[in-house]
């Protein structure tokens, strides 16, 4: 049976590009829409080198309804959407809340609005463990309470989940799977695609690999006085390819009506909490490369510890994060080395 086309918004971004690869390898035709605000067209070359297919891409902004309408008209075989297109820097969102609310919410509203008109059956939404705030206990299940968001970025994820729920419950002829990611890290094992943030990285792994290669002098570890065994924060670091694979399963589940539920929510994590210092150790052990680092004060707004209970996704989706942290760290390093080789940085 010919598979329906999947619209991947933000498909040249970090998680989006890895998901496009997995979709193509699973036989799904795709089309990307991306405004290139935090990515570049060379990502398409990387995807093509891995899969042998260059995904079609429309350079446009999802907040532009006319552009979206044109895209759905040009690709009438779109059956599902995976929505990655969003701004995602926590700190920036506190400085520029209007940008975050406008970009993240209008994108979602436009997609939900257009879907029924174009016979698009389902949308997979990128949410985050940020909706749990500082959880009362770990590991976190999907039933854990949603805490008040500590940033406009986090609030856009909470509001987006509510919008999707309201629209699906209104009887609109659409389904949704909401995926709450923990901390995605690493790169494709081919080192053809990976994470490439603009400017100084805010997230741990890109800062770490840029330090390891000498672009940054040293990595600052934000706090060693938390209530954790070594005092640094604990996260659930999930391999980006494992994460991408969950999207293919989720989209198939929606489009092939494998569930009676019109809306489903899954935690995507490994179930293993690793501290920032343990992660630095893992990187050094796996790659043999030293990472100069120093302890500095806490970063405002950081959660002390959060890791997933992924049992529901494991059972219902038949999906499990499989890549070891050492392999993941090696993939992140191989990608950083590839960027150097290509003269990107």
Give the residue with the Cβ less far from ligand UD1, 199 or 318: 199
CA 2 – CA 200 distance, rounded (Å): 43
- Which residues of the chain form contacts with ligand UD1 (CB under 6 A)? 88-90, 128-130, 183, 202-204, 207, 219-222, 233, 235, 276, 299, 302-303, 306
Pick 115 or 306: Cβ nearer ligand UD1: 306
Reduced to 3 states (helix: H, G, I; strand: E, B; else coil), residue 46 is: helix
Taking the complex as a whole, the smallest distance from the CB of residue 273 to ligand UD1 amounts, in Å, to 11
Which of residues 24 and 209 has its CB atom nearest to ligand UD1 in the complex? Answer: 209
Smaller CB separation from ligand UD1, 4 or 194: 194
* Shortest distance in whole angstroms from residue 130 CB to ligand UD1: 3
Q: Using an 8 Å Cβ cutoff, are 194 and 14 in contact?
A: yes
Measured distance CA(250)–CA(245) in Å, rounded:
9
Q: Report the alpha-carbon distance of residue 332 to residue 36 in Å, rounded.
A: 22
Helix (H) or strand (E) holding 189: none
Peptide bond into 309 cis (omega under 30): no
Please report how close the Cβ of residue 121 comes to ligand UD1 at its closest, in angstroms.
27
Strand partners, 263: 176
Closest CA to 45 of 188, 193, 194, 190: 193
Residue nearest to ligand UD1 (CB): 233
Collapse the DSSP code of 319 into the 3-class scheme (helix H, G, I; strand E, B; otherwise coil) and give the result.
Answer: coil
For the bound state, the minimum distance from the C-beta of residue 299 to ligand UD1, rounded and expressed in Å, comes to: 5
Q: Which is closer to ligand UD1, CB of 8 or CB of 219?
A: 219
Round to whole Å and give the CA distance between 262 and 283.
41
Of the residues 132, 153, 207, 226, only one is catalytic, namely 153
Closest to ligand UD1 by CB, 71 vs 219, is: 219
Q: How far is the CB of 156 from ligand UD1 (least distance, A)?
A: 11
**Rounded distance between C-alpha atoms, residue 194 and residue 241, angstroms:** 10
Instruction: Return the closest-CA partner of residue 130 out of 105, 103, 158, 104.
Output: 158
Q: How far apart are the first and last CA of the chain?
A: 44
Helices 97-117 and 152-169: crossing angle in degrees, nearest 10, is 20
Query: Is 153 labeled as catalytic in the residue annotation?
Result: yes
Tell me the H-state helices in the chain: 14-25, 42-51, 65-74, 90-95, 97-117, 152-169, 204-212, 240-255, 276-287, 311-312, 325-341
- State the nearest-atom distance from the C-beta of 249 to ligand UD1, in Å: 21
Active site residues: 153
């Amino acid at each position: 049976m010919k598979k329906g086309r999947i619209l991947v918004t933000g498909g040249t971004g970090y998680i989006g590009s890895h998901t496009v690869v997995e979709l193509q390898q699973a036989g799904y035709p795709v089309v990307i829409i991306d405004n290139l605000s935090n990515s570049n067209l060379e990502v398409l070359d990387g995807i093509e080198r891995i899969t042998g297919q260059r995904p079609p891409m429309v350079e446009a902004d999802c907040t532009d309804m006319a552009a979206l309408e044109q895209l759905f008209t040009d690709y009438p075989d779109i059956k599902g959407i995976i929505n990655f297109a969003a701004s995602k820097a926590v700190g920036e969102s506190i400085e520029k809340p209007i940008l975050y609310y406008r970009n993240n919410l209008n994108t979602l509203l436009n997609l939900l609005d257009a879907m029924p008109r174009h016979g698009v059956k389902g949308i997979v939404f990128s949410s985050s463990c940020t909706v749990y705030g500082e959880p009362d206990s770990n590991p976190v299940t999907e039933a854990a309470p949603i805490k008040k968001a500590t940033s406009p970025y986090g609030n856009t994820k909470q509001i987006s989940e509510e919008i999707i729920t309201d629209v699906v419950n209104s009887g609109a002829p659409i389904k949704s799977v909401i995926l709450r990611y923990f901390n995605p890290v690493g790169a494709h094992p081919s080192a053809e695609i990976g994470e490439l943030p603009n400017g100084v990285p805010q997230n741990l792994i890109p800062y770490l690999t840029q330090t390891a290669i000498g672009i940054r002098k040293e990595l600052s570890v934000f706090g060693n006085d938390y209530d954790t065994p070594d005092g640094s924060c604990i996260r659930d670091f999930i391999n980006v390819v494992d994460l991408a694979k969950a999207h293919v399963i989720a989209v198939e589940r929606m489009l092939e009506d494998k569930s009676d539920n019109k809306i489903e929510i899954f935690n995507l994590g490994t179930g293993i909490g690793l501290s920032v210092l343990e992660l630095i150790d893992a990187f050094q052990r796996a790659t043999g490369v030293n990472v100069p680092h120093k302890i500095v004060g806490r970063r405002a707004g950081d959660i002390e510890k959060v890791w997933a209970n992924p049992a529901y996704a494991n059972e219902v989706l038949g999906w499990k994060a499989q890549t070891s942290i050492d392999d993941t760290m090696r993939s992140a390093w191989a990608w950083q080395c590839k960027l150097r080789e290509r003269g990107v940085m």
